[in-house]
Amino acid sequence: MSVTKTDLVDRYLYAVKFWLPTAQQEDILAELREDLLSHMEEREAALGHALDDDDIAGILRKRGSPAEVASGYLPERRLINPAVLPVYWLVLKIVLLWVLAPLFALVFLGPVLASAHPWETVLLCCNEYWRAAFMTVGMVTIGFVLLDRYQVQFQHAGRWDPRKLPRVPGSEDTGARWKHLTALVFSVVAAILWAHLLWQGAEFPFRGGMRLRLGPLWEPFYWPILGLAVADAFFDLLSFLRPGWARVRSRVRIGGNICWLAIAGVLLSAGGGGVAVGNLPAAELARTTAWFNFMIVNTVLGLAVVVIIDLINEARYLVRGARTTAAPIPSAMQH
């Protein structure tokens, strides 16, 4: 065996070794070496002379790059289980488009409107969004990798019931979809206005230096109200896009409505919690405060009525759905 032949083969195998799993390196390389040498001997016999550098290089090149050869021996690796890939994409889509993007829009709307250089603020917002998006993608991916690593069973993987699948949206859902779209617009506008109000320090400035301010009573509810409004917007959007997911929507809306009613109860029992401040006579401030609280109470009452109606509707829908689900399957359909 020529020195060149073993030298090139050794170099080739050494390069392959780099990519191989440590425990199997020697075993795999010994088998590869044997195969290469058998191949070269056969070639020499066919040609009738010893192989030169070019012949050997040609054989090794034909065999494939060291990384390519080693890749066949590596265990099949995947970052995320293909079975849960659709769920992964869905989660990413929801988090990036329907949670992170509206949240950034809300947070940056005030600064953009108030800034002397709005485009700079928009660029800053985009920059921050991409940073947050990269982090989010990483976190979601790590989450799914861990789920796969520890073999967490998804509901869809095993225990699922065809009767609990969302129903196919029918023509009667068209009206409901427009209802969800209207509710979505309302929720988004409410969330934007509320965020804007928070940005202004929970005050409504008026001419003459007078300001109507939401008093200390409101402070614990600043962020919960914003969170509820964003959540409402999200589920309205979900209901619009996926009208068949009605049961999920109903449960979430019932929970959200109960939260809204709890907040309304506190505000109503305290008589509104608003206050007028400014360089005005005390009597006028007191009169304005009373008027402001009257407006708050009426607005909250009106909203509470709407919320109660919605709560009853959703509860009725759920009860009706439960009865339908609990009904026995006709024997003819069981076959």
Q: Which is nearer to other proteins, 82 or 216 (CB)?
A: 82
| 3-state DSSP helix/strand/coil % of the chain, to nearest 5 | 80, 5, 20
**Residue recorded with tokens 């979601």:** 140
If binding is defined by CB under 8 A, does position 10 make contact with other proteins? no
If binding is defined by CB under 8 A, does position 64 make contact with other proteins? yes
- Part in contact with other proteins (CB under 8 A); list of ranges 64-72, 83-91, 131-139, 285-293: 64-72
If binding is defined by CB under 8 A, does position 32 make contact with other proteins? yes
One residue of 31, 120, 203, 219 binding other proteins per CB under 8 A = 31
Cβ count within 10 A of residue 31: 10
If binding is defined by CB under 8 A, does position 100 make contact with other proteins? no
From the CB of 42, what's the least distance to other proteins, in Å? 8
Q: Which is nearer to other proteins, 35 or 219 (CB)?
A: 35
If binding is defined by CB under 8 A, does position 68 make contact with other proteins? yes
The amino acid at residue 27 is D
Q: Which is nearer to other proteins, 30 or 146 (CB)?
A: 30
- Part in contact with other proteins (CB under 8 A); list of ranges 32-40, 231-239, 244-252, 253-261: 32-40
If binding is defined by CB under 8 A, does position 37 make contact with other proteins? yes
Q: Which is nearer to other proteins, 71 or 299 (CB)?
A: 71
Query: What are the tokens at 278?
Result: 């400014």
List the strands of the sheet with 274-277, edge to edge. 203-205, 211-214, 274-277
**Residue recorded with tokens 């990384």:** 67
How far is residue 208 from each of residues 193, 211, 277, measured CA to CA in Å? 23, 9, 11
From the CB of 24, what's the least distance to other proteins, in Å? 8
Give exposure, 270-301, as e/b (b: 16+ Cβ within 10 Å).
eebbbbbeeeeeeeebeebbeebbeebbeebe
Q: Applying CB under 8 A, which residues contact other proteins?
A: 24, 28, 30-32, 34-35, 37-39, 63-64, 68-69, 72-73
